[in-house]
Structure 1
């Protein structure tokens, strides 16, 4: 039996009857997708507002407006390292509800920030609160499913989750047409409160007391060590970091590229949505194919296509070709590739670590988010009025992701490795 389809060996419930009692499968997928999408909403709804926020706080250098995104991502990345072990010890619900409450409080702080420093601090805290939702969301899935079925569930979640990046910039743009940028944070506050109430009323605890880990420094460090020394988990975690680096590069530069270079103005969210649709469609396609073809075949091929589209964009950029439609098509190709990469890489990184799903999710989230945000910010600061920095990001980070996959699989592609090796 392949590693993709291996039975659960960690004592968790697996995919048997009522893996999340009291909640139907569809509702489970939607609520987990909404929890993960809360992070995307906090990022993408801000994009149309960056120029107005820059004016409000006298940000002269346009690249410095990216701090509003990066401050959030730093809090989101760092905090994940701590929420995982705590959720493994105390259960998922308490940590999730606490994180949603903190996210909502920070949204109020953003709403009433009167200086840039206050806004950045509130955004950092907002990211800390949302980190709990990311860690717990992935842990909920790993508590309940394994193998290719986990890959399928993650793909369905990603498909629903990707609806938010599609519509979030448009929501932000519509808000700006009738109100100022402060109301964007009111929207984030509302989203946090709705999810808090939904999870408080409906979401069951998926980690029973007998499977919880002790909250001791030695045990936590041992769990961290298991994540970082498992070849498959480490390799796919690094691969996701590189791939996320390209994604975050696009997010940090997208407003400047589409508004400053291609002069789209208020049409920017429409084009952003059209590119995000490619990722959502790919995630849906992955959910239909992954049980039959396997996570490795789909994601390894997608890593190659991700790198190819980025390299083609770079070649054209270096030749001075800066055509709008060519750029959009190549970005859509990269994002479609990511739709096959994201859910499968995450599932494969988590697969060997079911007994410490919370800690594993936190370490993987910490490395991929903070690492990806750092890589994206580095390229975002190189923005020079052309698409070359983004094309370079896709190319270099695609190659880095491909090399990390080779490391994870001992140099072999498209086939599952014996997890004992």
Structure 2
């Protein structure tokens, strides 16, 4: 009965500690990573089972989810600012679960793609609500630190998800993977229903009228810092989606690793997660801007070196060199997104829901389309993806420079609000 009363009345919800709060938000974010990464080792099997021709078409299993996930976020922000965070979260999780259950029985490739799109549309609520809830409770460098811890869990998921996918495939088929994602979604739903408090006070809710929504979007889109970092993150996230979409083709096609490629994919993800954890410890001392700007420049430098090496070796570096340089690049990657997210959200606390939706839509939809475009040029060498890495990261740096009026590597910001505000 306590469970039901807490679910119906947010004010009756039990006190949530800082650690549980961060873990719960991380799980909601990890749902999306798992929905993408668990399918990576199954792409070839899906193609064979559903009669798909053209290996690059299999990337659409990832891309359609990302498009649904990115595009729908633009709707959830205004809704969460009007009706509160919990209701919108549970509505989205319901849509996600319906799509995941139906995907288990998809009769053909086109139906599977449509259901993956539906899953993405539902899961978009978790991204918007998670970011909004964090902004409701945190500010400044502390928000960046909290989001780093959340992203650490998000980035740990690629360590486990492909290997879970391979394990499931050893005893079943890709349909069982969809069943696994149903279970994951149910865990997220039950935990949030029982323990996540409503963080948006009634007096802070914005009316859902065309004028007020348009006003909120105007605030987001006309703020130079917020909009500049939003576009910069969209471009930089194209790097991640390009790598995810092509990982199986690179590891198995170029380097002939077979099913063991998931171990190397996980190794890279582990380093990304470690850098995100390091970011949570360093951002308060070094500063959100300085740390993220230095990391972006480092990523661009290593990308240029990697591309030059690939050209020298005729299209693909030796595997040991490829893995070394990729790990270095992705370590730098871990210091950028959470800080850019915090910088974009910082001036928009009064419209956090809309801000989160615009940010998430641009980041995921823009990054997914850019990454998918890079992935579609895969030609059996590393040249397309490394050229894409260099170009997207360089564009991100240009957008940051515009947002900051050319002033990069600023000194650490001073924190002027409490670290954590517990829910009422």
TM-score (norm 2): 0.93
1:245 aligns with 2:245: no
SS in 2 for 1:162: helix
Q: Equivalent residue for 2:61? A: 68
1:99 aligns with 2:88: no
Contact 2:290 2:412 in 1 (8 A): no
1:167 aligns with 2:160: yes
1:157 aligns with 2:156: no
Deviation, structure 1 residue 415:
0.8
Which structure 2 segments of 5+ residues have no match? 1-10, 414-424
SS in 1 for 2:206: coil
Aligned equivalents of 1:61, 1:137: Cα separation in 2: 37
Equivalent of 1:302 in 286, 290, 295? 295
Contact 1:35 1:195 in 2 (8 A): yes
Contact 1:101 1:193 in 2 (8 A): no
1:375 aligns with 2:340: no
Q: Equivalent residue for 1:4? A: none
Which structure 1 segments of 5+ residues have no match? 1-17
How do 1:8-407 residues align onto structure 2 when only pairs under 5 Å count?
22-319=15-312, 320=314, 321-407=316-402
TM-score (norm 1): 0.93
Residues 392 and 21 (structure 1 numbering): CA distance in 2 closer, same or farther, change over 3 Å? farther
Structure 1 ranges of 4+ moved more than 6 A: none
SS in 1 for 2:334: helix
Q: Equivalent residue for 1:12? A: none
1:412 aligns with 2:416: no
SS in 2 for 1:131: helix
Contact 1:409 1:417 in 2 (8 A): no
State the aligned residue count: 401
- CA offsets, 1:113-167, max 9 Å, x none? 0011111111000000100000000001000000011011111111122211111
Contact 1:170 1:270 in 2 (8 A): yes
Aligned equivalents of 1:334, 1:364: Cα separation in 2: 24
